[in-house]
Structure 1
Amino acid sequence: MSPVPLPTVTREVRLLARPEGLPEARHFTVTETPLPAVGPGQVLVRNRYFLVFPGLRTLIGGETEGVPLPQLRPGGTLFGPAVAEVLAAPADGPLRPGDLVSHLAGWREHAVLDAADCAPLDPALPDPVAQLSSGEAAYGALTRLAEVRPGDTVLVTGAAGGVGSLAGQIARLLGAGPVIGTTSSAAKADRLTAELGYDTVVLRGDGRSFAERLAEAAPDGIDVLVDTVGGEQLAAAVRLARPGARFALVGAVSGQLAADRAGGGSAPVTLDSFRLVVQGVSVRGYRGGDHPGVAGEWTERFGGWLRSGEITFPHVVLPGIERAPGALRELIDGHHLGAVLVGV
């Protein structure tokens, strides 16, 4: 049997123009482009799935000061976490055709990469798609910054997102008491309480202030916050902090995904600093690079929890690279619960 010929062209998603507000499908295009030859120490991979993540809005908006990723300029190819199959690899390297790897060259069908930029998938995870979960950030925030304790009342803002849909389950498995989430969708709230570890979900947008609704859900206050939103939700959480509360900030989509903030690189909010002082509240931002031991620990525990059925990985797969130009806007508009992936 003759070997299957390797592809010489691929399709990739490029930024057509920097949007003035939130990105829409028309700001992107799927372009066919030649694949470079595979050089020494390089591999050719075919992507199976790649992750759609909110941070792309910031990279597109150009407000990337302090962000450990380059900004995206018009004409540039989008990038992000992906799971891929190796099609060609050097004979003297550790990878072989058919191996599954993760890398950061998503938003395309194929890629030629340095072998060192590809990580073999950890066999601890029973499903390759789980490699693209955002649970590592939730786990790190709960174990390294908030250090959740048995019986703690935990609040997770943006509970239906990629981080939040796992954070409630993780908090429960770590022994938390009441776990409270926030979302803007009644249908999502039902799933969060029925399937994903939440006792109560606070809905936004019913005419009353968010602070009032949150106070009803947590009349005795909160011990731990995993915040992916910022804005009024973070401000309301400060007013409910118990003595010694620990706040772990993982995201700030109130600013990052705001239509009136062109670059998506800031999320201003006014906090009651007096309350922070008298209650002894710690407020820390979670950066994965500060906690190198989290990745391996999370993967091992996540794999065990998945196999035992104690946790699920909520996600949706949008089929085909043709869906990719509209995928970021679907995430921004809250069309899906959990992680949003494109299946190539």
Structure 2
Amino acid sequence: MTSDVSTQIHLASRPQGWPVEDDFSLVRVELPALREGEVRVRNEFVSVDPYMRGRMSDAPSYIPPFEVGEAMTGGAVGRVVASEDPRLPAGTLVLHDQGWRDLAQGPGEAFRPVPEVEGVPVSLHLGMLGLTGMTAYVGLTQVARLREGDSVFVSGAAGAVGTAVGQIARLLGASRVIGSAGGPEKAALLRERYGYDVALDYRAAPIREQLAEAAGEDGVDVYFDNVGGDHLEAALDVLNRGGRVAVCGAISGYNAGARAAGPDNLTNVIKNSLMLQGFTLGEYAGFAREFQERMGAWLAAGEIAYDETVVEGVENAVAAFLGMMRGENVGKMVVRI
């Protein structure tokens, strides 16, 4: 007999500035009996990600906002515990978007079976083997058009996407990889674990000064932007002619109470024929197989390092999200259910 009560995190109110615990509520929902074609899944890990902050607002975006009073969603990996879909028998490991809860239920089409890879935790389907790793891959290969010999700068380099970007850039032939992170411990990890040539602690001194010194006369060819703000401004100072910027995120401004000022050196885009392109992963779904084959081979060969910051319990999902937004994670932040 499987449980039919789902413990979920609902959005209680739209945050103003930084989210707080009171913006969320823990709700227990009794699930209906399964209908034909439906499955029930016990989540094992759920993901918390920066883009979710934007969905807590009702401002127009590329993805619908979370609704106040309803369960939030996000990446999750779990196991089928009851099924009325013969394609997904009990015990199947699946990937889906009904995160922020312990028990998920819906049409079988909403749940995608994924392989269990020996020696690899299933949570990696939410990180390096999943959307996180693919974001890094397509941002470098399809948006920034990384070329062998390019010099690369990555902001938010100790986060889930950033740790993937630096390593993939190196494997694709980058000549030099510079990363920024908050604090000396994270900076050391970039050099010692993730293959960065230079690691900048943006808390130690203005990033604009540090990056100019690190880039030197050689400059930077590709900037993978997870932060925006002062990091984008710093990158525009050092990008070589024809430099490319893949704009993945702007976490520095997600919780700002007022509109941030734009870079004071935007004319460098004209002067140096720079390309700035934002992207979301949905536009590049056709590259999923290519990414999975290459990442699978790199992992099998031991050429990719990964870390996870694991928070225990669905009731602590909000704390995990807030910690991730404050930069308390190394690698991917996940919640073990």
TM bin (shorter chain): over 0.9
Aligned-residue offset at 1:298: 1.4
State which drifts further: 319-328 or 231-240.
319-328
Asked if the contact 1:47–1:84 (Cα under 8 Å) also holds between the matched residues in 2, the reply is yes
Letter in 1 for 2:208: A
Residue 67 (1) aligns with residue 62 (2): yes
Which residue of structure 2 lines up, in the alignment, with residue 323 of structure 1? 316
1:314 aligns with 307
- Normalised TM-score (structure 2): 0.93
What pairs with 1:34-45 in structure 2 (closer than 5 Å)?
A: 34-45=30-41
* Structure 1 residues 162-173: aligned runs within 5 Å: 162-173=160-171
The residue aligned with 1:233 is 231
Alpha carbons of structure 1 residues 73 and 90: separation in structure 2 relative to 1, 3 Å: closer
Gaps of 5+ in 1: none
Q: Supply the AA of the counterpart residue of 1:27.
A: D
CA RMSD of aligned residues (A): 1.7
Contact 1:124 1:299 in 2 (8 A): no
Match runs of 1:223-262 below 5 Å:
223-258=221-256, 260-261=257-258
Once the two structures are superposed, residues 31-87 of structure 1 have per-residue CA deviations (whole angstroms, 9 ceiling, x without a partner) of: 222012211111111101010011121111222x1322x212332211100001011
Counterpart for residue 183 of structure 2: 185
Work out which of the residue numbers 117, 121, 124 in structure 2 matches 1:127: 121
Give the Å deviation of 1:20. Answer: 2.1
* SS of 1:83 mapped into structure 2: strand
Partner of 2:109: 116
Percentage identity across paired residues of the two chains:
36
Structure 1 length normalisation: TM-score? 0.91
Deviation at 1:29, TM superposition (A): 2.5
Q: Please, which of 42, 47, 51 is the counterpart of residue 46 of structure 1? A: 42
Residue 26 of structure 1 and its aligned partner are, at CA, apart by 3.2
Q: Does 1:144 align with 2:137?
A: no
Q: Structure 1 303/271 Cα, relative in aligned 2: closer, same or farther at 3 Å?
A: farther
Instruction: Give the alignment partner of residue 23 of structure 2, picking from 27, 34, 39.
Output: 27
- Amino acid in structure 1 at the alignment position of 2:279: Y
Q: Which has the higher contact order (CA 8 A, sep 6+)?
A: 1
Deviation at 1:275, TM superposition (A): 1.6
Cα distance in 2 between the residues matched to 1:291 and 1:182: 26
The count of aligned residue pairs is: 331
Runs of 5+ unmatched residues, structure 2 = none
- Structure 2 residue 10 is the aligned partner of structure 1 residue 14: yes
Q: Using the alignment, how far apart are the partners of 1:102 and 1:199 within structure 2? A: 35
